[in-house]
Amino acid sequence: MAMTSSPGSITPAEVPAPYGNGPSGAGLPGSDPTEKPAGRIRIHHLQQAKDNGEHFAMLTAYEQYTAEIFDQAGIEVLLVGDSASNNVFGNETSLPVTVEELLPLCRAVARSAKRALVVADLPFGSYEMSAQQAVATGVRFLKGGLAHAVKIEGGTFYTETVRAMVQAGIPVLAHIGFTPQSEHSLGGYRVQGRGNDAQRLIDDALALSEAGAFGVLMEMVPAETAAAIDAAIRVPTIGIGAGSRTTGQVLVWQDMAGLRGGKMAKFVKQYADLRTTLAGAAKAYGEEVRAGQFPGPEHSF
């Protein structure tokens, strides 16, 4: 699966070939242009990507149109992130968002994405208390949110939680390194796993993957540490601010497409300037309305 693309080069016609299926790519999701709809990306396809030394892309999505656009652009994994808290609901951090707020967003994304694997974040407070609580919340996201998998933040401490969830039939993506839900205990946005701390993250990744996590997402981890983790574990890794040697990469879509204003983290690359485009469109519309130029005869019945 040729899953990396140069900036701006992804078009629906270039939906990446499938994982591990050679140049012709027969038989796996998206491989046959006559196949409609393309098969769903599943967690074993992500594993095949790792096994074949290939890369895949993940973006956040929180509603219908972006889910549809990213899906058709060939993005393999959509994350209904708890970053909805500070990218949809107007909060400062990811902590306040609730299960009740995320579930309808997740349903909208899952209904709109025909091919991508849809992963939902379990919000802060919805899984930490016990493995039972995590299973119950995971079930809500798979049943009521129509998600295909869930993501939880945290290290070795969550080994038994992951095991219980996987046994209950809930695919789990583990999120280690900088975990935004713990930003107050981590002392803010700080790179994790530098120097001697690298071993702690390697141990986390080993424990969580051995407990059954289908992948390990690493946030703000030095590239060398991330590469060591990717080499140490069997399952695919996904990086955000973790260098280039992870199996997949993830970005928050409003950062990737330049919708969000303000200072960007070092790891963000902006592939568009939607904020300027949208502001220009809104300004032009407002001016035309005020000048009596819109609607014109062509827009009137």
- Which residue's C-beta sits nearest to ligand KIV? 81
Comparison of 131 and 250: residue with beta carbon closer to ligand KIV? 250
**Is residue 63 annotated as part of the catalytic site, yes or no?**
no
Is 121 a binder of ligand KIV (CB under 6 A)? yes
| CA distance linking residue 60 with residue 79, whole number of Å | 4
**Bridge partners of 238?**
217, 248
- Tokens found for residue 113: 């994405």
Comparison of 38 and 149: residue with beta carbon closer to ligand KIV? 149
Is 219 a binder of ligand KIV (CB under 6 A)? yes
- Tokens found for residue 118: 């849809």
The alpha carbon dihedral of 133, 229, 219, 77 has a sign of negative
Written as one letter, the residue type at 185 is S
The helix or strand, by DSSP H or E, that contains position 276, with its residue range, turns out to be helix 274-290
Comparison of 49 and 97: residue with beta carbon closer to ligand KIV? 97
Could you list the beta-strand ranges (E) of the chain: 56-60, 77-80, 117-121, 149-153, 172-177, 215-219, 237-240, 248-251
Number of residues that make up the chain: 301
Tell me the closest approach of the beta carbon of residue 71 to ligand KIV, in angstroms.
17
Comparison of 19 and 124: residue with beta carbon closer to ligand KIV? 124
Number of residues that bind ligand KIV (CB under 6 A): 11
Selected from 46, 229, 252, 256, the binder of ligand KIV by CB under 6 A is 252
Which residue out of 219, 224, 287, 288 is catalytically annotated?
219
- Tokens found for residue 139: 């079930």
Stretch 75-114 residues interacting with ligand KIV (CB under 6 A): 79, 81-83
Tell me the closest approach of the beta carbon of residue 36 to ligand KIV, in angstroms.
31
Written as one letter, the residue type at 156 is T
Where on the chain is the footprint of ligand KIV (CB under 6 A)? 60, 79, 81-83, 121, 217, 219, 240, 250, 252
Name the residues annotated as catalytic.
219
